[in-house]
């Protein structure tokens, strides 16, 4: 249900109390016997809240110690690059992490002058280091992504530069919980001052090398020549300084909206549920930028760690993430000479089938995986995937010469790519997508969430083909029932039903007490609603 506050400024009395939040980080002690207070690595690291005792200093100390032990076990002797976003808990969490790393003799690199560091810049730094060094570097990004202001998060990126796979996170998660259960007795620490003064902590310029190399991934000359009037909205996140450098380096007419950090994110408009959420794919969170669409040739935003993108054009307003992914794939494989048919396009199984129809028209193969960008990391790293994208507005692609750029989502190159596409084609992103609908049919796509207990989520996660007894769905014959992704054979953690002109996927959330139903129809809005109702009925019967 849509909140009456959606798309509106949040009242001052509902903003997070930063002082209480920081106090809770240090003073609250999680109970390792309570499931909700344990370390849990979802699709993108461990996330939680200090006030809920799910992201406190104890969690960070335990995870950091587990990461240090994992590095030594694997022989990763290179630098550990550490980035952080602008959530209030990110800086204290970085401080806690440095105390552990220095005590364990792990060399770390943090941003110069304690600046904020976007996720893609950490991935970029790891890959650039490992390209010329025999000592394997890896990284940590302290961020809960687009989550509300009171949340914190911790991600580990191994030497391939991308989000750690489950074979890695399961080891770190298990060890961190053992440390928590043992009252942190296994954690090695020094004081924060000792850590900074030690030989193990150094500063690194994450921004300049990344900005200077942008011409290798985006046709910045075309963007310059177009002389667009553009706006970038970092949503108070870590890309503020990056866009400032991009603006000066390439001489762009680029206005940066709200170029400052506010831990309460008071300038945000509420998301669909009335909460502050820095989700650049949400029309409610992005309402203030969408209102300005006619003032710019192109406007765009990123979430707080800059791994997601939101594209706003005069004709299309906030472009649906699935629509933009389809346009980006078409453009790259028709305008990059090194994007040959040997490369595949990675998509999550809940992303729009319009991507598949575009690829089929180009003779390009699809690599479909479960939810989570980690599934694309190896393919981007070794050059098998030209592009990897997910429905939640996260994507990355190869450089113009076919070499890897980042193996984590990069919202910054996706916003700049939109400028290149419009500059080269002379068309609005919305107009290009409209051409796809004329050629391939119109997509009706939606996701709905519903409450689910831990037991119900477990039932859903363990569904199999036998869970579906019907032969038809939405009036069409069922062609496929998937519990594993076609691309890599990895478990979906739910179920996907495919017919000739539609599909539906049901899976539990990894971080919230809800389950999600994703559905798409190429027939009509009414047909979409009918398959959603069938899916809900199936879930209700399953939970009885």
Q: Which residues are catalytic?
A: 145
Q: Is 475 left (phi over 0), alpha (psi -120 to 50) or beta?
A: left
Beta-bridge partners for 232: 256, 300
DSSP readout, 324-344? Answer: HHHHHHHHHHHH-TT--TTSE
Question: Rounded distance, CA 249 to CA 257, Å?
Answer: 18
Question: Rounded distance, CA 401 to CA 424, Å?
Answer: 18
Distance of CA 94 to the CA centre of its chain: 20
Q: Determine contact, residues 241/271, Cβ cutoff 8 Å.
A: no
- Is residue 416 helix, strand or coil? helix
CA distances from 368 to 61, 344, 350, 351, 390 (A): 36, 10, 9, 9, 10
Beta-bridge partners for 299: 231, 312
- Is residue 82 helix, strand or coil? strand
Place of tokens 């996660």: 461
Question: Rounded distance, CA 200 to CA 144, Å?
Answer: 26
Distance of CA 42 to the CA centre of its chain: 12
């Amino acid at each position: 249900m849509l909140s009456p506050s959606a798309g509106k400024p949040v009242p001052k009395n509902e903003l997070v109390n930063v002082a209480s939040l920081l106090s809770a980080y240090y003073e609250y002690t999680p109970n390792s016997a309570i499931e909700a207070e344990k370390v849990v690595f979802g699709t993108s690291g461990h996330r939680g809240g200090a006030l809920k005792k799910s992201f406190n200093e104890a969690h960070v100390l335990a995870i950091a110690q587990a990461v240090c032990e994992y590095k030594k076990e694997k022989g990763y002797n290179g630098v550990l690059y550490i980035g952080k976003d602008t959530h209030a808990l990110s800086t204290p969490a970085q401080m806690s992490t440095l105390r552990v790393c220095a005590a364990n003799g792990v060399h770390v690199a943090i941003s110069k002058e304690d600046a904020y560091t976007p996720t893609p810049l950490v991935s970029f730094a790891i890959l650039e280091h490992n390209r010329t060094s025999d000592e394997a570097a890896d990284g940590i990004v302290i961020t809960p992504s687009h989550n509300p202001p009171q949340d914190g998060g911790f991600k580990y990126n191994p030497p391939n530069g991308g989000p750690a796979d489950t074979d890695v996170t399961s080891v770190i998660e298990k060890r961190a919980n053992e440390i928590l259960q043992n009252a942190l007795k296994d954690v090695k620490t020094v004081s924060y001052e000792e850590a900074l003064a030690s030989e193990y902590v150094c500063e690194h310029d994450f921004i300049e090398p990344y900005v200077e190399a942008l011409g290798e991934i985006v046709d910045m000359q075309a963007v310059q020549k177009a002389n667009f009037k553009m706006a970038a909205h970092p949503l108070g996140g870590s890309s503020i300084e990056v866009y400032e450098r991009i603006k000066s380096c390439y001489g762009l007419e680029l206005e940066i909206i709200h170029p400052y950090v506010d831990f309460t994110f008071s300038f945000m408009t509420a998301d669909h549920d009335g909460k502050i959420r820095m989700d650049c794919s949400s029309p409610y969170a992005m309402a203030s930028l969408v209102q300005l669409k006619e003032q710019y040739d192109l406007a765009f935003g990123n979430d707080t760690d800059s791994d997601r993108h939101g594209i706003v054009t005069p004709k299309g307003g906030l472009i649906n993430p699935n629509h933009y992914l389809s346009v980006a794939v078409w453009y790259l494989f028709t305008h990059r000479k090194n994007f040959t048919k040997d490369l595949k396009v990675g998509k999550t199984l809940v992303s729009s089938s319009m991507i598949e129809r575009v690829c089929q028209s180009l003779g390009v193969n699809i690599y479909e995986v479960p939810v989570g960008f980690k599934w694309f990391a190896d393919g981007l790293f070794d050059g098998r995937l030209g592009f990897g994208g997910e429905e939640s507005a996260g994507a990355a692609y190869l450089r113009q010469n076919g070499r890897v750029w980042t193996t984590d989502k990069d919202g910054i190159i996706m916003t700049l790519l939109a400028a290149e596409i419009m500059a080269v084609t002379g068309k609005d992103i919305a107009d290009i997508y409209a051409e796809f609908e004329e050629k391939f049919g119109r997509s009706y796509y939606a996701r709905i969430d519903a409450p689910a207990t831990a037991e119900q989520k477990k039932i859903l996660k363990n569904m199999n083909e036998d869970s579906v007894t019907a032969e038809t769905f939405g009036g069409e014959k069922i062609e496929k029932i998937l519990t594993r992704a076609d691309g890599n054979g990895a478990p979906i953690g739910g179920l996907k039903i495919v017919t000739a002109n539609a599909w539906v996927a049901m899976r539990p959330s990894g971080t919230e007490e809800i389950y999600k139903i994703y559905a798409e129809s190429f027939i009509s809005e009414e047909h979409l609603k009918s398959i959603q109702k069938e899916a809900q009925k199936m879930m209700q019967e399953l939970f009885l």
